């Protein structure tokens, strides 16, 4: 478990909440109105949850995921059953938090985790929709949407994760006790800077 | 002394010469013989003056610049700011003009149909699998749930949820949306269902029209308007939806399915109107845009259904009649 209790947890929670709020607003009022090919939009909130979970570990990851999902369920244009995103993001936050221990083992872990998280999140959301009989989650529609959605999520992930690390990095750098995670964060940040 | 005398002589001569010149020039006026002299002067000295000026002016400017430098810098800043402001004004002016054109169109359509509308602007859009948008009017503007939302071009969707200053609109392309609809100039009714705009391999049509009567005539290019719900909630009658793009032939089924090309450009929604009061009478096909001229000619094939059900079309409303006579071939 990488969560270190000595670094002020309150400030980390506050940062996480702010990051999620910004991601939600950006998603709803900017990203969703972009005329991307296929009319599919990368899920910035899901990527933010994955990034926060990779940084903060499973507990904070799942709490963050649940809160972000609940917010995504009630933010104005949302018109689905409340709780769907809360469920999905909570699970994804927990799973990706489990991978946070592996962050310092290999540099590709964040990428794999994000891709897996995007795929699992999209499928889980669609699966829940099918279970509750949402006409939007019909199989025909899902076959059309899910591949594009996952592709877009993976394409957008370096930017989102870089931005999240940039914002939360100040908190991470102050922590000297858990050196492994912060060095990995620094390394990943440098890596994504090269890509950008 | 001699010098002085010579000097005086020359001085006197020149003075006299000058006086003579003055006299001649003054008496001569415009026709003075000395005008040529002035021409020579300007021919010789003009270019020289220009050259010298062009040499001197930068130097003078440099001096001015050095002495005035702070003032000039301020002036440049001021001009740059002013430039920026003017550019922004132009840009916002173009946006305003665009928006005003959209509003004008919306008002015209609403006037044609007799709808009372509240104009609104789209401020955000839904994510994932749903096709929803938020608009910037809410309960305070008289908007309630289950009201029709339209643009100048046609149907957008219906209000599903209302906040104090915002409202959520379910677009007609959403897979959860179902709209009662009617073919233009006949009373054949059906249901428009959203198919969703998102994803791969969309063959253009985000909506499907299911004609309830399998024998009723339907042809490509025919336009579709809303039928109107009971009590005009959620859909008021007569709002254009789209045109038939492709008809699916599946002989066994009870209904006939057509793919629609919507009139509204759903991926670029900006100014919309919420119909807060329905029209007093059904506007029928009045809100439909004028029929494009070349449209009927490529589809002259009279479907067998047209002759098979003359009774259904013969009872068309008076407002539908003139459009019927515009058909290439009339079976009366």
Q: Is B128 within 8 Å of A80 when comparing Cβ atoms? A: yes
Pick the more confident residue, B17 or A175. Answer: B17
Q: Is B142 helix (H, G, I), strand (E, B) or coil?
A: coil
Residue B327, CB-side half-sphere exposure with 13 Å CA sphere = 21
Tell me how close the Cα of B173 comes to any Cα of chain A, in angstroms. Answer: 11
Q: Is A28 within 8 Å of B168 when comparing Cβ atoms? A: no
Of the candidates B110, B124, B139, the one whose C-alpha atom is nearest the C-alpha of residue B275 is B110
pLDDT in tens, B202-254: 566 788 898 888 778 888 888 898 888 887 788 988 888 999 888 887 777 77
- For β-strands B223-226 and B207-211, DSSP reports them as unpaired
Q: What angle do CA B154, B226, B167 make, to 5 degrees?
A: 60
> In chain A, where are the structural domains located?
9-195
Q: What confidence score (pLDDT) does residue B316 get?
A: 36
Q: What confidence score (pLDDT) does residue B91 get?
A: 82
Q: Which residues contact A81 (CB under 8 A, 6 or more apart)?
A: A73, A132, A134
CATH hierarchy code of domain A9-195? 1.10.1760.20
pLDDT in tens, A16-33: 888 888 888 888 888 887
Average pLDDT, chain B: 77
Q: What confidence score (pLDDT) does residue B157 get?
A: 92
- Enclosing H/E stretch for A128: helix A109-131
The architecture of the domain spanning B114-309 is: Beta Barrel (2.40)
Using CB atoms, pick whichever of A78, A125, A143 lies closest to residue B126. Answer: A78
Mean pLDDT (whole number) for B55-83: 78
Q: Which residues contact B207 (CB under 8 A, 6 or more apart)?
A: B172, B173, B192, B193, B194, B195, B241, B242, B259, B260, B262
pLDDT in tens, A63-116: 888 888 888 888 878 777 788 888 888 888 888 888 887 776 776 777 788 888
Tell me how close the Cα of B185 comes to any Cα of chain A, in angstroms. Answer: 32
Q: What percent of chain B has pLDDT over 70?
A: 82
Least-confidence region, from A92-106, B31-45, B110-124? B31-45
Residues in B touching A135 (Cβ below 8 Å): 175-176
Pick the more confident residue, B320 or A85. Answer: A85
pLDDT in tens, B276-299: 888 877 777 777 877 765 544 444
- Bond from prior residue into B234 cis (ω within 30 degrees of 0): yes
pLDDT in tens, B129-182: 888 888 888 888 888 889 999 988 889 999 988 888 888 899 998 888 899 998
Residue B189: what are its φ and ψ, rounded to 5°?
-105, 160
Using CB atoms, pick whichever of B134, B169, B196 lies closest to residue A141. Answer: B196
Write the ipTM: 0.73
Q: Which residues contact B65 (CB under 8 A, 6 or more apart)?
A: B72
Using CB atoms, pick whichever of B127, B160, B169 lies closest to residue A28. Answer: B127
């Amino acid at each position: 478990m990488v969560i270190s209790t000595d670094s002020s947890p309150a400030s980390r929670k506050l940062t996480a909440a702010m990051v999620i709020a910004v991601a939600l607003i950006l998603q709803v009022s900017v990203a969703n109105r972009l005329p991307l090919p296929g009319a599919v939009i990368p899920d910035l909130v899901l990527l933010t949850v994955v990034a926060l979970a990779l940084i903060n570990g499973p507990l904070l990851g799942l709490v963050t995921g649940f809160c972000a999902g609940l917010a995504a369920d009630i933010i104005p244009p949302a018109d689905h059953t409340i709780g769907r995103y809360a469920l999905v993001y909570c699970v994804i936050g927990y799973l990706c938090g489990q991978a946070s221990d592996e962050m310092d083992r290999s540099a590709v872990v964040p990428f794999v985790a994000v891709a897996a998280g995007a795929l699992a999140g999209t499928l889980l959301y669609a699966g829940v929709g099918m279970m509750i009989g949402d006409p939007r989650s019909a199989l025909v529609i899902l076959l059309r949407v899910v591949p594009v959605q996952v592709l877009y999520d993976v394409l957008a992930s370096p930017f989102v994760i870089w931005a999240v690390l940039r914002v939360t990095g100040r908190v991470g750098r102050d922590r000297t006790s858990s050196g492994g995670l912060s060095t990995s964060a620094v390394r990943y940040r440098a890596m994504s800077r090269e890509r950008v | 002394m001699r010098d002085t005398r010579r000097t005086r002589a020359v001085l006197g001569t020149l003075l006299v010469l000058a006086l003579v010149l003055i006299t001649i020039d003054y008496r001569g006026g415009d026709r003075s013989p000395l005008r040529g002299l002035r021409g020579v002067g300007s021919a010789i000295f003009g270019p020289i003056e220009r050259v010298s000026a062009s040499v001197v002016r930068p130097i003078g400017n440099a001096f001015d610049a050095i002495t005035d430098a702070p003032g000039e810098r301020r002036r440049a800043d001021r001009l740059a700011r002013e430039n920026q402001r003017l550019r922004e004004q132009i840009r916002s002016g173009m946006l305003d003009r665009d928006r005003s054109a959209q509003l004008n169109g919306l008002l015209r359509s609403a006037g044609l149909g007799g709808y009372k509308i509240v104009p609104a602007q789209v401020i955000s859009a839904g994510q994932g699998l749903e096709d929803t948008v938020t608009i910037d009017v809410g309960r305070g503007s008289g908007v309630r749930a289950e009201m029709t939302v339209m643009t100048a071009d046609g149907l957008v969707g219906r209000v599903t949820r209302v906040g104090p200053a915002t409202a959520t609109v379910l677009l007609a392309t959403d897979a959860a949306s179902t709209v009662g609809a009617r073919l233009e100039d006949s009373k054949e009714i059906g249901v428009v269902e959203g198919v969703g705009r998102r994803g791969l391999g969309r063959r253009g049509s985000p909506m499907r029209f299911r004609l309830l009567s399998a024998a009723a005539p339907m042809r490509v290019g025919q336009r579709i308007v809303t039928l109107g719900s009971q009590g005009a909630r959620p859909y008021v009658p007569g709002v254009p939806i789209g045109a038939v793009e492709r008809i699916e032939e599946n002989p066994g089924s009870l209904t006939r399915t057509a793919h629609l090309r919507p009139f509204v450009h759903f991926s670029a929604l900006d100014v919309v109107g919420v119909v807060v009061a329905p029209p007093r009478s059904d506007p029928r096909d009045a809100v439909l845009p004028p029929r494009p001229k070349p449209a009927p000619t490529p589809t002259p094939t009279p479907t067998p259904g047209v002759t098979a059900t003359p009774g259904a079309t013969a009872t068309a409303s008076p407002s539908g009649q003139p459009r019927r006579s515009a058909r290439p071939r009339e079976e009366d």
